[in-house]
Structure 1
Amino acid sequence: MRSSRRHPLLVPALLCALALLAARPTSADGEPGDGPGDGAGEGISAQVARLYRDAEVATQRYEAGRRDAEVQRAQAERYEGLLERERREIAALHEDLGRIARAQYRSGGGLPLTAQIILADTPDQLMRGRQVFSQAQLAVNNAIDKSRRAEARLRADQAKARSAWQALERHNTELTVLKQEIDDKLEQARRQLQGQADVSVAAGSCRGAVRLDQPPVDGTRAWVAPVESYELSAGFGSGGARWAHRHTGQDFAVPIGTPVRAVGAGRVVRVSCGGAFGIEVVVQHPGGYYTQYAHLAAVTVDQGERVLAGQWVGQSGTSGNSTGPHLHFEVRVTPEMGSALDPLPWLAERGVQVR
């Protein structure tokens, strides 16, 4: 019989291995998950979150460029309107100049200087006529020069405005292309993320929490909506062929990968990846209430973890009994289904208006 002393590290090594296995995240059914650091799943989740941020930045840049373009368009139209008005004034001035010229001719102002000398009765008459003519001619010439300078200046301003507008159009086109590229990448990443979620649901085992780089939580708000931007779809108590009785929560229509937030501080009491709700998270809040976040594509918390209001608990998806991407949100008095109440008045009582 061999002595155990020949392997002094065997027992401690086995104990460490057992401890590591026991520490792995589990689903609601007690099956082991993949842990928070498991490569591809976390990579796709992080990629989707990053692409959402990139798309938001690109959209903001696009909107800023569009607003600048509208301002520039209005300025160009003002230039064109001013130019048109100046042209009308110049046309009126030319008409006045024609009348002046005709009047001068009738009064002798248009006669050659030799004829004026011959026809003048006195030298004083000749000088007065020439002085009036010179002053009138000088005023006419000045008015013409002024009008021509103004028209040239306005044409130059119009050209500058048109050039600036064309540059903004090119800029907006570039931003649109950039945004479309991000949207295309995001759509591809969404499909991959949902594909992994479907695999987890089919296996009934969660991959484990993915740790995403999320923005700081606003500590001044005790309660928030479960998603930031959304459209409301199926409401509490509504009927539908996909529900046994009545709809037990409020659906928020959002794209796959949208960050889902804990509506209030609490503790994660369930992370499950099988059944009609697909991938779901249930959070217990002070006061005996529970909130459920279902049909997720990924979870960002582990069972037993404490969360703050606004902290991400997952990414939306269309896992489980779902016809399209959305978040199914419930408020319950127990962690189990069948104890749900209308979540919108419940949120409104806590200062969160959902419309």
Structure 2
Amino acid sequence: MRSPRRRVLLVPVLLCLSGLLATRPTTAEGETGDGSDSRISAQVARLYEDAAVATQRYEAGRREAEKQQGKARRVEELLTRERREITVLREDLGRIARAQYRGGGGLPVVAQLVLAGSTDKLMRGQHVFSQANLAVDNAIDKNRRAEARLAADEAKAVAAWQAVERRALELARLKKDIDDKLEQARWQLQGRADASVAAGSCRGAVRLDRPPTHFVGDWVTPVETYALSAAFGSGGTRWANRHTGQDFAVPIGTPVRAVGAGRVVRVSCGGAFGIEVVVRHSDGYYTQYAHLAAVTVDQGDRVTTGQWIGQSGTSGNSTGPHLHFEVRVTPDAGSALDPVPWLAARGAPVG
């Protein structure tokens, strides 16, 4: 027979467990933070890194291509000069040949002997004739060398331009391949996010391996590269009154980072904000990150400046991929203030 005391102790234990479970983000039925969700999130993050590397390679290749183009242009300029030189050499050769013919250089030696009248005159004529022949030979040799050099340089010019074209094609293929893979993975990730929002429950956090980073200050912008869209206080049909945050237009899957150190006080799905994360900072302010496609933290987690806490998306009441960022004096909506001067005052200017 079981002891009544054991049953009495079991009740508080169960209550504690149920309380702990209640504080964690709920998981959609049949889904976990592991498996395909984590793989897709990790794939997107990895492809972003690959895209960054590809962009660096593309830029390096573009600079190299510009150098090659400059080299090819210099070779073309050299070819132009060489062609002009060959034209001059051919004209000189023609003049020498005509002068030699007019001076009797084409007559046989016997005819020259008969016509010379004296041996001295004949020897002087032969000397002139030899000098003329030497000039002709030198001119022909110089012309041949110039033409050979021109042919070699023309081949170099063709090879230089072909190298430029090959490099451009290689870089374009590389970039397009990564962009295509990234676009496909982005929308797979967003599909999972839409399913979570429709179910009103968040999948577990995905843990992403991020490259090592170092931040100079204690505060950063919520995304690294972006274009600003809807500003704080702006009007529009999408909001009941005024826009309560600053929107950062970024592609789906862009890593979203905590603007400063703090603790995650909310991870939720559903509603106008879609998938969102709220962080409380040590100075008492709260920051919200909304319309996410995935989260990489759990409620209660401590986060550091710049730590990845999610991936941007277009979940909830959103007309396109972007991050909705708010600064609040409480964790709830309705207490927002303009985040742009707030970040600027902390050394993280937006713009």
TM category (shorter chain) comes to: 0.7 to 0.9
Give structure 1 stretches of 5+ with no counterpart. Answer: none
After the TM superposition, which residues 289-328 of structure 1 pair with which residues of structure 2 at under 5 Å, given as runs?
289-328=285-324
Give the counterpart letter for 2:24 in structure 1.
T
Give the counterpart letter for 1:262 in structure 2.
A
CA distance in 2, matches of 1:286, 1:126: 112
- Residue 130 (structure 1) aligned to one of 102, 108, 126: 126
- Residue 241 (structure 2) aligned to one of 222, 228, 245: 245
Count of equivalent residues: 345
After the TM superposition, which residues 20-169 of structure 1 pair with which residues of structure 2 at under 5 Å, given as runs?
22=20, 26-27=24-25, 31=26, 37-169=33-165
- Residue 251 (structure 2) aligned to one of 249, 252, 255: 255
Q: Deviations over 1:209-266 (max 9, x none)?
A: 1100111131433222211221111111111100111111111111110101111222
CA distance in 2, matches of 1:157, 1:283: 65
1:36 CA drift (Å):
7.3
Q: 1:343 to 1:115 in 2, by over 3 A?
A: farther
Give the counterpart letter for 1:319 in structure 2.
S
Q: 1:116 to 1:188 in 2, by over 3 A?
A: same
CA distance in 2, matches of 1:164, 1:139: 37
After TM superposition, the score normalised by the length of structure 1 is 0.86
1:120 CA drift (Å):
2.9
1:195 is matched with: 191
Per the alignment, in what secondary structure is the counterpart of residue 354 of structure 1?
Answer: coil
1:348 is matched with: 344
Give the counterpart letter for 2:165 in structure 1.
E
CA distance in 2, matches of 1:140, 1:16: 111
Comparing 103-112 and 203-212, the one that deviates more = 103-112
Give the counterpart letter for 2:96 in structure 1.
I
Per the alignment, in what secondary structure is the counterpart of residue 212 of structure 1?
Answer: coil
Q: Deviations over 1:294-327 (max 9, x none)?
A: 1000111112212122111100000111000001
Give the counterpart letter for 1:22 in structure 2.
L
Comparing 66-75 and 231-240, the one that deviates more = 66-75
Q: Is the 8 A contact 1:25 1:32 kept in 2?
A: no
Q: Deviations over 1:130-188 (max 9, x none)?
A: 33332343233223323322332232233234234324433433443333233222222
After TM superposition, the score normalised by the length of structure 2 is 0.87
Comparing 122-131 and 292-301, the one that deviates more = 122-131
Give the counterpart letter for 2:233 in structure 1.
G
Q: Is the 8 A contact 1:33 1:208 kept in 2?
A: no
Q: Is the 8 A contact 2:100 2:132 kept in 1?
A: no
- Residue 230 (structure 1) aligned to one of 226, 229, 237: 226
CA distance in 2, matches of 1:144, 1:350: 78
CA distance in 1, matches of 2:133, 2:83: 22
Q: Is the 8 A contact 2:65 2:167 kept in 1?
A: no
Q: Is the 8 A contact 2:100 2:129 kept in 1?
A: yes
Give the counterpart letter for 1:343 in structure 2.
P
Give structure 2 stretches of 5+ with no counterpart. Answer: none
1:64 CA drift (Å):
3.0
Q: Is the 8 A contact 1:258 1:316 kept in 2?
A: yes
**What RMSD in Å do the two structures reach over aligned CA positions?**
2.9
1:18 CA drift (Å):
7.6
Q: Deviations over 1:56-75 (max 9, x none)?
A: 22333333333333332332
Q: Is the 8 A contact 2:28 2:199 kept in 1?
A: no
Comparing 117-126 and 257-266, the one that deviates more = 117-126
